[in-house]
Structure 1
Amino acid sequence: MTVEIVLLLLLLGLIAGFLSGSVGVGGGVVMVPLAIWFLGYTQHQAQGLSLAVLAVPVTFIAAYTYHTSGHQLDWRYALVIAVAFVVGGYLGSKIAVDLNQQMLKKIFGAILLIVAIKMIFFSGAKA
Structure 2
Amino acid sequence: MLESPARFGSIFGVACVVGVMSGLFGVGGGVLLVPLLVLLFGFEQHRAQGTSLIALVPPSGLLAFLVYYRAHEVDVQVGLLIIPGVFLGGLLGGKLAARLSPQRMRIVFAALLFVAGSWQVVSAWAK
Shift in Å at residue 34 of structure 1? 0.7
* AA partner of residue 67 (structure 2): T
Task: Give, in whole Å, the separation in 1 of the partners of 2:39 and 2:59.
Answer: 25
- Residues 85 and 41 from structure 1, CA distance in 2 versus in 1: closer, same or farther, beyond 3 angstroms? same
Once residues 72 and 91 of structure 2 are traced to their aligned partners in structure 1, the CA distance between those partners, rounded to angstroms, is 34
Which residue number corresponds to residue 97 of structure 2? 96
Provide the C-alpha distance between the structure 2 equivalents of 1:39 and 1:8, rounded to a whole number of angstroms.
Answer: 9
Query: Of 6, 9, 20, which aligns to 1:7?
Result: 9
Q: CA RMSD in A?
A: 2.2
Give the 5 Å matches for 1:1-127: 1=2, 2-71=4-73, 73-123=74-124
Q: Normalised by the size of structure 2, how large is the TM-score? A: 0.84
The ranges of structure 1 where at least 4 consecutive aligned residues each deviate by more than 4 angstroms after the TM superposition are 123-126
Count of aligned positions: 125
Alpha-carbon distance in 2 for matches of 1:121, 1:99: 31
TM-score, length-scaled by structure 1:
0.84
Contact in 1 for aligned 2:22/2:60 (Cα 8 Å)? no
Bigger relative contact order (CA 8 A; separation at least 6): 2
> Displacement of 1:7 after TM fit?
1.1
Query: Which amino acid letter does the alignment assign opposite residue 88 of structure 2?
Result: V
Unaligned ranges ≥5, structure 2: none
Q: Kindly, what percent of the aligned residue pairs are identical?
A: 32
Which structure carries more helix by proportion? 2
Q: Which residue identity lines up with residue 60 of structure 1 in the other structure?
A: L
Cα shift readout 1:68-111 (whole Å, capped 9, x = no counterpart): 2243x122322332332121111111011111122111111111
